Structure 1
Amino acid sequence: MKKSVLVLILGIGLIGFGAWQNQMGKAADTSGREQGSGSSTVLPTETGPQVGKLAPSFSLTSTNGTTFQVGGKQEKPIFINFWASWCDPCQAEAPDLVKLYAKYKDRMEMLSVNVTSYDSENKAKAFVEKYGLVNPVLMDEKGKAFKLYNGIAFPTNVLVDKNGVIRELFVGLRPPKDLEEAIEKLIEE
C-alpha cells in the first residue's frame, strides 16, 4: 500500500514538473529574434536537425550538374525534400510539390534530394520524369546529407529561413495545405 501511494505521488510530481517545463518552453521566445531591440536578429549558435537550430551544411550536385550549397545565410528560404523513388508517400506527394514549386519558385528555393544511397540514380531519374519535377533535384549518393538531418523516413521535408535556421521539420506525408501554410509563414518572415 505504501509503495503504491509513493509511486502515485512520484507520478503526480513528474506530471506536474513536465507541465511546468512545457509552459516554460512556451513562454520562451523561440523566434530567433532578440527581445526588446527592434529589428536585430540573434541566430542560434548550435547546428542540428531541429527546429530553431542552424541547418546542417551540405553541398550536393543536381541532375543537371549544378552544385547547391545548404547552410548559412541564403538569398531565399529553402524547402528541402528528402525522398526515394520507391517510397509510396513520396509518389503521392510529388504532384503537390510540383504545384508548390510553380507557385513559390520566385520566393523560395525548393531542393528535392534523392537519397540515392537507398535508391538508384536510374530509378530517381525515372521518378523525376514521371512526376515532372522541374525544381533542382540533388543526388545524395552516399546519404550523408540525409544523415546530417537524422533522416529516418521518407519523405522528410525541412524548411530553412534566409538566415539558415530550421523553421519546420516534417517527417512523413503531410497534407498539401499544411505544407503551404508552413511555406507562407516562412516567406513572410
Structure 2
Amino acid sequence: MKRNIYILLGVVLLVGIALAQNAGDGIAAVFKQEEPMPTETGPRAGLLAPTFSLTAMDGKTYSVGGAKDKATFVSFWASWCEPCKQEAPELNRMAAKYKDKLDMYGVNVTSYDKLKDAKAFVDEYQLTFPIPLDEKGTVYAQYNGVAFPTNVLIDSRGVIQEIVLGILPEKELERKIKKLIAN
C-alpha cells in the first residue's frame, strides 16, 4: 500500500512538471516584470528622452519628455533635405492613422534652415501635425543630431526606444510605430 502511494505521488509529480513545462510561456507571461525605468537621460535608446518645450508654427508650445498617455515620435528636419521631402507624406499618413495612440512632432531645425522655407515646406506637404521650431538648434544638439531627418521614437514612459537616421520604407516605419505604441 505504501509503495502504491509513492508511485502515485511520483506520477503526479511528473505530470505536474510536464504541465508546467508546456504552460511555461503562459506562466512566464503572468509573472513577467516590466523593465525597470532608466534613471539616466540622454540621446540613446534605453535612456529617458531629453525634455524640451518649443513654440510651433501654430503659436502653441509643445513639450516632449516624461511619461505621457501616448507614445511620441519626433522628426528633426530641414526644408532643403531631400529625404525629408520623401518622408513628409508618410509621416502625415502615420500621424493621422495613429493620432489616438501617438503624438507626432516635426521639429524644424530652424538654425539650419530659413523660416520662410520651412513654412513653404509645411504648406507644400500639407503637414497636419505640430511643427515646433528649434530656432537655435539646442534641442537638435541635445539629441546629438547629425543628419536630417533624425527620427526619435519615445514610448509612453518617456524612454527612447530607437533613433533612426535617415528615412525608412513606409512599411518599415509603420512596423516600428506599431511596435512603439504596443509597449
Fold shared by both chains (TM-score > 0.5): yes
- Higher alpha-carbon Rg: 2
**Distance in 1 separating the partners of 2:32 and 2:62:** 33
CA apart distance, 1:65: 1.2
Cα gap change, 1:132/1:52 in structure 2, threshold over 3 Å: closer, same or farther? same
**Aligned counterparts, 1:1-189, within 5 A:** 38-189=32-183
- Give the whole-Å Cα distance in 2 for the aligned partners of 1:89 and 1:168: 19
Q: Deviations over 1:95-139 (max 9, x none)?
A: 111111111111100000000000011100000000010100110
Q: Structure 2 CA distance, aligned partners of 1:37 and 1:57?
A: 32
Q: Aligned with 1:181: secondary structure?
A: helix
Instruction: Note the C-alpha offset of 1:40.
Output: 4.7
AA aligned to 2:53 is: S
Q: AA paired with 2:181?
A: I
Q: CA deviation at 1:168?
A: 1.3
Residue aligned with 1:112, SS: strand
SS in 1 for 2:75: strand
Q: CA deviation at 1:82?
A: 0.3
Distance in 2, matches of 1:97 and 1:40, equals 30
Give, in whole Å, the separation in 1 of the partners of 2:34 and 2:109. Answer: 37
Give percent identity, aligned residues only: 53
Please report how far the alpha carbon of residue 39 of structure 1 lies from its aligned counterpart in structure 2 after TM superposition: 4.9
Once the two structures are TM-superposed, the CA of residue 71 in structure 1 deviates from its matched residue by: 1.1
Which amino acid in structure 1 is aligned with residue 94 of structure 2? L
Task: State the TM-score, normalizing by the size of structure 2.
Answer: 0.81
TM-score, normalised by the number of residues in structure 1: 0.79
Secondary structure of the corresponding residue to residue 144 of structure 2: coil
Shift of 1:38: 4.3
| Distance in 1 (alpha carbons) for counterparts of 2:101 and 2:66 | 17
**Cα separation, 2, equivalents of 1:38 and 1:182:** 23
- Structure 1, residues 136-156: CA drift from partner, whole Å, max 9, x if none? 011000001100000000000
RMSD (CA atoms): 1.6
Distance in structure 1 (CA, Å) of the matches to 2:103 and 2:110: 21
Letter in 1 for 2:83: P
Unaligned stretches of 5+ residues in structure 1: 1-35
